[in-house]
Structure 1
């Protein structure tokens, strides 16, 4: 056996096929995988001032990016973007939304918006900070 570095494009299809086979064996059915990227932007006079990106996979959505230009923070823009993503998720059968944030980012913002911490790792992604893992379930949505 030899292990060597290779291109993502060489390994990814192979691994996707393995996981697809595993999924079929586990669920004893060929459930079509429902996965899609979702994004919303907030615009002020045709200028993008904030955005949110998520990935829906079956009944789960993971918010991977959410940001607002500094001049528009504390105006409700981030909360409106998050609420829009939640409404999208609700209408598309999502039961769970997850996201991560770091100690120096927006933990209080997410807590204020009804997310709760289910895990944390110290010194991730670098020494001196904490990475928080947050969740919001369908029954917790307003």
Structure 2
């Protein structure tokens, strides 16, 4: 397994978006995708996600997987072609925990 960390910086050199992921055998697991709340809706999340997918393909990964919560970004991942594979209800209380997968072949 190998960590893959990417970020986007603003003009002042401050990190405004980032991704932490792990290359595992034949897949890449997206652990964290973060965009500063003041920097959202500028395409940074999509830019990072597409770059991670590009690297995963370059490394011969067959698929990517990730998890997110109902109060985070499930629609963002669906928009990028990720398929919901399972849901855990009421985790945390009052919300859902979603697991997504995207085939890269």
Which 5+ residue runs of structure 1 have no aligned equivalent?
A: 1-34
> 64, 71, 77: which is aligned to 1:110?
77
In our comparison, the structure showing a higher alpha carbon Rg is: 1
Q: TM-score, normalised by structure 2?
A: 0.96
Bigger helix fraction: 1
Runs of 4+ in 1 over 4 A off after TM superposition: none
Aligned to 2:41: 74
Aligned to 2:3: 37
- Separation of aligned partners in 2, 1:52 and 1:109: 15
- Separation of aligned partners in 2, 1:86 and 1:63: 10
Query: Deviations along 1:41-95, whole A, 9 cap, x unmatched?
Result: 0111111000001111111111000000011111100000000100010000111
Q: Secondary structure at the match of 2:68?
A: strand
Aligned-CA RMSD value: 0.7
1:37 offset after TM fit, Å?
A: 0.4
Aligned to 1:61: 28
Which 5+ residue runs of structure 2 have no aligned equivalent?
A: none
Does the alignment pair 1:51 with 2:40? Answer: no
Q: TM-score, normalised by structure 1?
A: 0.71
Query: Deviations along 1:80-115, whole A, 9 cap, x unmatched?
Result: 000010001000011110000000000111111111
- Separation of aligned partners in 2, 1:110 and 1:73: 15
- Separation of aligned partners in 1, 2:90 and 2:67: 14
Q: Secondary structure at the match of 2:56?
A: helix
Size of the aligned set, in residue pairs, is 104
